[in-house]
Every structure is written in structure tokens, then in C-alpha cells.
Structure 1
Amino acid sequence: MVLGTGWLASASAQNIETLLAPGKLIQGHAKYEENCSECHVKFNRQAMDGLCMACHKDVGSDVKARTGFHGRSKPQACSSCHADHKGREARIVDLDKKKFDHNISDYRLKGKHQAVACEKCHLPQKKYREAPQDCNACHKKDDEHKGSLGPKCADCHNESDWKETHFDHDKKTKFALTGKHADAQCADCHKNDKYKDTVKTCIGCHKKADDSSKGHKGQYGDKCESCHDAKAWKPSTFNHDTDTKYALRGKHRSTRCADCHTGHLYRVQLSSDCYSCHKKDDKHKESLGKDCGSCHSERDWKEPPKFNHDQTSFPLLGKHVDTECKDCHKSAMFKEAPKDCYGCHKKEDKHENTLGEACGDCHTERDWKSTAGRFGHDRTKFQLRNAHADPKVKCNACHKDLKNYRKTPVDCYSCHQKQDKHEGQLGKKCETCHNDRTWETTRFDHALTKFPLTGKHVPVKCEKCHETNRFQDAPEDCYGCHKKEDEHKLKFGEKCDSCHNTRGWPIWDFNHDKRTEYKIEGAHLKVACESCHTAPAPKGKAAATVGKNCISCHRKDDVHDGQFGMRCETCHAVQDWKKVTTRMGLGERKQLQVLLASRFSVWGYSSRFERTTGPAMADTWMGRT
């Protein structure tokens, strides 16, 4: 047998596996005809299932998840149902529709779905798994709601009967059906099957009832549930006592809502005070304010008031308690009634207003004529003490005019002028020396004057200095009383206290070192004051001014005739005038030597200087040694 060249070419293109293949692959697997390893594993038949599911991933996912037909079916090799190599036109999926159990798929057939032909849901050229599982995919044309309620038809409908609904309004909506709403037909609220557009507020359905003559005509807003509930539209469930801050009492409980709520309930804020509603009933014309409840009650507006006068600025005491209101309140304008005693008792004022209008300072509400327990003189500017408080002293002793109490003087002098033995010389402040226990006893403190008493002045009787009751005539200086005792004949002036003191007149002490600029020392300590202070002291001075240098007193003793100047202390000492010494510095000494040498040598006075100072001193001063 001879083979053609074409056969040789075809045989060379095929491998041994291809030659051994049981037949052609189906059209869908034709591309794997020359590559057996895409579906087969050598010497391992079980590995074929893994390769199948690796290629058919949707089936593999079902098997792994145990969902769908393949996942719920009994596990077996893929080739047991889907055998290949049967030719290009072969169908390896042979499904018996009559025996197929739909319950092992992801979509169980219930109700009327069981009688529906497979082709109704599984369309040609579509895989079985691609059949839609939602109601709207098949019944979109049957949707009378035209998509307004969304695609979840099963929320209301079921497979037994499309027209039968089982919608749970309480759980699946925000509007639970309670009370009479549970008996209402769906069409009563959902007009024209438009469920989504249905309002969820009471006013949405009951607006006509609110707009009617028996309704509120929108005056109370659209929150009907504030007063009404679903059990019954009438009566209202609103409790004014608990649902508001204003409890209804008395006649307010029987008052219609519209009598107070005249405007829109939520736009017009209604005040809770009485005056807002009863302004026209106010006979006091706001004179008592707007707190009507302080006097009136809700039981009856005209009921006798529950007003407590003690809570006002004028509590009723004494005889005021029994007084009729109209006796003080002449009109309904109660605040016009005077609050002071004088406003009502002006005609009874016997003092003719000289004591002012504060009648309560003396009188009480218990008895107008009695002042006991109220008036106290201690509350005035003049307290009654000691002799003034003596019961024998009558009021008219000071108050000459009972109608003019306030003009009574409060100073001592006005009453005791006749008893003033000082004839007014000590002024009118009698209390400075006298007291109200007894006029004769004085408590004058001389230390408070310009001349305090010290030393031997203390036991001296007043008459020694004050020769008359005009005490201010007494001199205040020492010289005024001790003129006769002045042994210095005014040489040291009139200021005796410069040296003397009140402890004893012979005792005196003047510190010349501290009180003057000239220190007393040496022979000066034995010199009497009059030796230097020879002239009378000028008026107002303690002593006449004396020069501060030696020459002022020792001019006559200057044997140098002023040749050495006025600085005697340069050579002489205060201990002894005749003792000559030098306290000059070297520089001053040299200058003086030159001066002395020139004067005494030229004028021939060297012998005179030597006679005066002595030979030794002359040699020293003249520079001869």
C-alpha cells in the first residue's frame, strides 16, 4: 500500500497523544486539540477535575463555596457528566429538565414558580446560572407602582399570588400603624398606589379636618400628635398641667384654648403672666404692676384679694390692722396712698410741722397720743445725762415752745449764760471745764492750754495767776509773774526759761557750749555772765549779742596795740592770758617771722618786742635761733 505525501505531512504534525485521542473535541475546546495537557495530567485522572475548575472558574467557585447546582450536587468527576471527544457539534451538557431538582440550585421554586416553563426564566444563548433571581427582572412589566417602591417586590408580594400582599408596616416603615390607623385601608392614605409620596405627618391626611369650622384652621400648627393620638381624634390628650410650665387652676381649667391662644400656637409666644390676658380687667391701671396673682386667684377674679399687706413696704401694725382699706386707699390706684404718717395724720399734727413729717420717731401705731417706748432723747443730737436726766427737769425747761422743738439750742451757753462768771471771756464752750453732773465742779486740764503746769506751778492756786474770772487775762510768760524776782535787771531779757525752770527758781542751767557758737573753757569758766553780757538784752532776745573773738573783750589787754591782729588765741590760751604759746603750723610761723622781722628791724621795735615777749621767745619768733 502506498501513502501520499499529504498523509505524511499530517502525521508529522501530530504527536502520539493526538493519534491516540478517542475523537474530536467539542467546538468550545477545539483550541486545545493539540495541547492535551490543558485538560489531562499523565497518569493522574483525578487531576482533570482541578484543571476543569481552573478553566471554568464560576463552577469552581460554586464547588468551593458549596453554592449553586455544582456546589450542592453530590461530588463526582466532571467527566461523568461532561464527556468530551464527541465531535465538534456534540453537546456535553445533557440536562433533563423534567427530572432536574431546582431545590439544589440557588433559587428554589415556590408557589406559582413551580408551574412556570424553564424558558420563561432561562433565556436562549444564556447560561442557566445567568437567569435573574430578583422579582423585578421578570415582573418589571407587571409593576403597577412603576418603580416607585424599588425593585424589592418580595417585601410585599409572594410566589403564591401576586395580588396578595404581606407588608409589615410597623417594621419596614417609620410610621407604625396603631389605633385606628390599623383599620384604615391602604388606599385611604396611599392615593393612586403612590406609596413613596405618602406624607408621614398627621396634618398630611387630616388637614381638611383641621381647616373645618370644628378644627383649628392651622392656628395650632401641624403637630397634631401634641394633643391627639391614633386611638381617637377626640378628645384631646393634651395635659396642660404636665405638658407645659403653666398648670391650669380654678376657672382656667374650664376656659377654652382659643380664649388664651388667639394667635398661632408656635409663632406667637403666649406669656404666662395674668396681665397678658387680663389687661382690660386691671382697674388699677398698672399702678400696682403686672403681678395680678399677688392679690387675685384663679378661682374668681372678683373674690376678696389674698393680699398680704405685711409683704409691702408698709406692714400694718397696731390700730392700722383694723383700718378699712378705703380709709387710706381712696381710689383703685392703691399705690397713690401715702406711706408716711404725715400723709394721713397731717390734721392731727399739733407741732405744725416744726418737727418734720417723721411722726413715727415719737408716735406709734398703738396709740397716737402716747410716745412712751418710741421717743428717746438719746436719738437726738443732745443726749440727756446726769443732771439733765433728772425727772424734776421738765421738757419745757428747755423747750419753751412745744411747737418748735427743733429750734431748741443744744449748746450749754444758751441755757447757762446767766451763770457765766467769766463774762464770755472764755467763749461759749462751757463743757471744756464744766460737766453735766454739777455746774460747780470743773474738770479743766491746764495741760491742754498753751501753758501746761509743771514743777512748782502745779500746787499754785488759780487765783495767784488768774486774778479775775477772766482767765485769759493771765500772762503766759515767766516775766509776767516773776518781774520782781529778776536780779539781772533785764540784762538777759524776759525769757527766764532760757536758764531757769519750774522745779525751783534758784536752780538754773545754761549750757553755753551747746546753745551758743562760743564754747566756754579755761579761765572763762569762772567769769560771771555779766562780765561779757554788759548791755541790756534786745526785746525778744535772751541776752545781748557778744563778739565771738578774743579782742571783743580783751582789747584793753592788748599790749601789742593791735600789731598782731585780732587772733589772740594764736599765742594766748584761755587757761592763762599771760602764758604765751604757739599753735601755728610751720608755714604760718615762717610768714609771721618775716612780717615781724621786717616791722621791728625797720621801725626799731625789736627791743620793745623783746621786752614784751622775753629774750627766749623773741629769739624764737625773730628767727635768731
Structure 2
Amino acid sequence: NTPTDCVGCHLDDFNATTDPDHEMAGFPMDCTECHDEGAWIPSSFDHNNIWPLNGAHASLSGECLSCHSEGYENTPTDCVGCHLDDFNATTDPDHELAGFPTDCTECHDEGAWIPSSFDHNNIWPLNGAHASLSGECLSCHSEGYENTPTDCVGCHLDDFNATTDPDHELAGFPMDCTECHDEGAWIPSSFDHNNIWPLNGAHAIISGDCLSCHSEGYENTPTDCVGCHLNDFNTTTDPDHELAGFPMDCTECHDEGAWIPSSFDHNNIWPFNGAHAIISGDCLSCHSEGYENTPTDCVGCHLDDFNATTDPDHQSAMFPTDCIQCHNEGAWIPSTFDHDAMYFPIYSGKHRDEWNTCMDCHFNTGNYALFSCIDCHEHNNQTQVDDDHSEVPGYQYESNACFMCHPNGEN
């Protein structure tokens, strides 16, 4: 009955070993787990092959019972199996009260239990007002640490719903809090409407009445005036914007001060003088074709007047269509043109009733500065005219020479 197991011969070695104390530590008596036949010392056992003794664990390498007080079978390999007392005794923050998960590796490493290796900023930075909550874990993790929301409204929905100036819920504000708030504080908001669309003039009065512009929500809010002021446009009657076909670019005639009075002054574009002042409210009289490319020369509006004039007949006489040569803004009739006073008497003196049309004297209808004195029936006989001027020094049978000597048509 000679024993075949090691301890049968090596029990004294087993009991006498103190580093570590096999008997006190309750080591199993299967010597082959830690020794081989080479020698009792050194042992062939290497704890690192089973569970490495790193960091603070290295200082316990000879204190086997610190981890194996219950024996060597089923020794826990998760941290909390040995460190549950540390977990429960921690108060800053209180792990048990806060319901921390018991996977210690999320916040600690083998260097030491304290300080923790956990840095909240690596997961979600505690900036601004959040920094004051750094030890109050339940303020954000009341439902646990899994699936904690990372969007602001996940924690601040009550703030959102309780806000009344302006009422976020009633106004249908989007729930992306970062659009209007930062981590400094919920109040005051970091939102400045002027950075998106300045609230100037009359708009400043409605700065808190969000729905006046955002009744359809906050996406794609129009930035052109008519997007909000179409009713003002359609109901304006002096002048009637819709009937007159006004363009819908309100900034051409209005500013943010008020819809009424309009900031538009027609005189800055085209002054209403004389007879034009009478039609200052009758926009279609000049803008019947719209407001783009409205003519600024007189004949653009007065061609019918030009063609209908018979005394003298402008069209037949082939008058130039530069109306300002003979008319002003006072009225079409009477004309400001006075042939007798300005050029040559044809309505008085010897030439009165001696002509029928302008072309009797003005042979070039493209240039009324040109005229003829020698083509009419009284002066077209050069022999007779030469005889009449035989004693006139420097006489010439030529129209300009005639005018030089007879500027009033008299002998």
C-alpha cells in the first residue's frame, strides 16, 4: 500500500511550507497542481497563468486567503466578487444608493480602488451647469445607467413644458434644446432671434408672439415680407395693390417701421409734377403693362396724344417724338411751343396764312433746324428776287442769307 499520490510522501513538505502557508491557506493536497518532480522548491505554479496579479493585486501575491478565503474552487473572477464591500462602502458617490452597475471595470482599474479611473467627461462632459451635478448621479440616472438619454430634452422636458415666456409647448417649439440654450443655464436662453432674422421696427413689438410668424411651425418660415403680409397686400385699397398688379416685393414700398404709411415715394423715381400730380393714385394709367420697364420718355405714355393732334398734325408733319421740345408737364394743351416768339413769325406778320403745313418751309422732317425761304411761291423766282436785291451789298439767293436780313419776315 505504498502511496502513489504526492502528498502521501510529501505531507511534511506541505505542512512545513510557509510562503505561502499551505495548511493555513487550505491549499488542495493535489501537489501536481503546483509542483512537478523536478523539486519541491521552486514551485511550478504561476498564478499569472490563471489570473494575473497586476497593480494592487501584486502586493497580495502571498496573501492567498485575501481572495481564496472560501477555498480555491469557484474563486470569482469578476471584481465585485472580492470588492463588494468596497462597492457598498463608497459614498462619494454612493454606489449602492445611486444604483451603479457592479461591473467595477467600468470605473476602476487594478491600480487602486481610489482614485477611480472613471472620467465622466470621456462619455459625456459635465460642462456649465452640469458641472454642479457631478456628484448627483441620480439627477440624470434616476432610471439607471443603461440608455441614459444624451439629448437635452431627455432630462429637460419638464423645463421645456413649464416655460411660458415664450410658451414652448403652445408655440410648438422644436425639442432640440441646443437651438436656443447652452449648458450655462436654462435661463437666460442663448437664443438671439436677431442672429437669424432681426426683429426691427414693428417686428420688435411682436418679439414674444412667436405664433404670429410661426403659426405653421419653425421649419421653412418665409423670410420675404409677403410670406406674412399677403393679407395686408390684398386688402390695401389706396392704391389697390392687387388690382394694380403691384409686385410682391414689399421692400420696394414699405419698411419695417409700419405697413402704413408706406415708405415709397414715387418722386424718388419719377416726380409727379403738373398734370401728373392729378393721377398720382391712378397707377394703371402709366403702369397698365406692369411695373417693369415702364417708359420714362413722354411719348411712351403720350403716343396717342401725339398721333391725335391735328393743329398742327404732328404725325403728318413728321414732328419729332421728343415731346419736351414743345410741351411740359402742365398739360398737353396748350403747347409751350411758340414759333413766332422763339423762331420766326408765321402766325403773325407777312407770313400769316401763307403756309399750310410745316413742310412748306421745313423740307427735312428729320431736322426742323433746316428751313427754306426760296422754295415758296413768292420767292422761288430767283431772277425776280435778284432784281429786287440788286442794290443790296453782299446779297445771296440762299435761305440762311434771307433769314439774316429778314429775321422778322419784314422787308
1:115-147, Cα deviation, whole Å (9 max, x unpaired): x97446235354xxx955541444579785999
Q: Is it true that 1:300 corresponds to 2:340 in the alignment?
A: no
The amino acid that maps onto 2:52 is N
TM-score by length of 2: 0.53
Question: Residue 183 of structure 1 corresponds to which residue in structure 2?
Answer: 205
1:533-586, Cα deviation, whole Å (9 max, x unpaired): xxxxxxxxxxxxxxxxxxxxxxxxxxxxxxxxxxxxxxxxxxxxxxxxxxxxxx
Residue 249 to residue 376, structure 1, CA distance change in 2 (3 Å): closer
Question: Residue 226 of structure 1 corresponds to which residue in structure 2?
Answer: 252
Residue 55 (structure 2) aligned to one of 31, 34, 39: 39
TM-superposed deviation, 1:300 = 3.2
Question: Residue 62 of structure 1 corresponds to which residue in structure 2?
Answer: none
SS of equivalent to 1:341? coil
Larger radius of gyration: 1
Q: Is it true that 1:197 corresponds to 2:201 in the alignment?
A: no
What fraction of aligned residue pairs are identical, expressed as a percent? 22
Q: How many residue pairs align between the two structures?
A: 289
Are the equivalent residues in 2 in contact too, given 1:156–1:165 (CA < 8 A)?
yes
SS of equivalent to 2:84? coil
The amino acid that maps onto 1:249 is N
TM-superposed deviation, 1:340 = 2.6
Q: Is it true that 1:90 corresponds to 2:121 in the alignment?
A: no
1:302-337, Cα deviation, whole Å (9 max, x unpaired): 3451467899xxx64xx779659964664xx64565
Residue 325 to residue 203, structure 1, CA distance change in 2 (3 Å): farther
Residue 336 to residue 91, structure 1, CA distance change in 2 (3 Å): farther
Residue 310 to residue 236, structure 1, CA distance change in 2 (3 Å): same
1:405-462, Cα deviation, whole Å (9 max, x unpaired): xxxxxxxxxxxxxxxxxxxxxxxxxxxxxxxxxxxxxxxxxxxxxxxxxxxxxxxxxx
Q: Distance in 2 between matches of 1:376 and 1:109?
A: 104
Q: Distance in 2 between matches of 1:147 and 1:299?
A: 60
Question: Residue 281 of structure 1 corresponds to which residue in structure 2?
Answer: 305
Q: Is it true that 1:107 corresponds to 2:126 in the alignment?
A: yes
Question: Residue 152 of structure 2 corresponds to which residue in structure 1?
Answer: 135
Q: Which moved more, 1:215-224 or 1:197-206?
A: 215-224
The 5 Å alignment of 1:377-388 reads none
The 5 Å alignment of 1:458-607 reads none
Residue 308 to residue 134, structure 1, CA distance change in 2 (3 Å): farther
Are the equivalent residues in 1 in contact too, given 2:340–2:346 (CA < 8 A)?
no
Q: Distance in 2 between matches of 1:298 and 1:342?
A: 37
Are the equivalent residues in 1 in contact too, given 2:340–2:347 (CA < 8 A)?
no
SS of equivalent to 2:30? helix
Residue 92 to residue 108, structure 1, CA distance change in 2 (3 Å): farther
Question: Residue 393 of structure 2 corresponds to which residue in structure 1?
Answer: 373
TM-superposed deviation, 1:281 = 2.3
Question: Residue 473 of structure 1 corresponds to which residue in structure 2?
Answer: none
Question: Residue 486 of structure 1 corresponds to which residue in structure 2?
Answer: none
SS of equivalent to 1:182? helix
Unpaired segments of 5 or more residues in structure 2?
1-10, 15-27, 36-42, 60-77, 99-119, 161-167, 363-370, 399-411
Question: Residue 124 of structure 1 corresponds to which residue in structure 2?
Answer: 144
Q: Distance in 2 between matches of 1:169 and 1:288?
A: 62
The amino acid that maps onto 1:216 is H
Are the equivalent residues in 2 in contact too, given 1:240–1:248 (CA < 8 A)?
yes
Residue 260 (structure 1) aligned to one of 277, 286, 309: 286
The amino acid that maps onto 1:277 is C
Residue 235 (structure 2) aligned to one of 181, 200, 212: 212
The amino acid that maps onto 2:261 is P
Residue 271 to residue 178, structure 1, CA distance change in 2 (3 Å): same
1:569-618, Cα deviation, whole Å (9 max, x unpaired): xxxxxxxxxxxxxxxxxxxxxxxxxxxxxxxxxxxxxxxxxxxxxxxxxx
Are the equivalent residues in 1 in contact too, given 2:129–2:183 (CA < 8 A)?
no
**Aligned-residue CA RMSD (Å):** 5.0
Unpaired segments of 5 or more residues in structure 1?
19-30, 44-83, 380-625
The amino acid that maps onto 1:202 is C
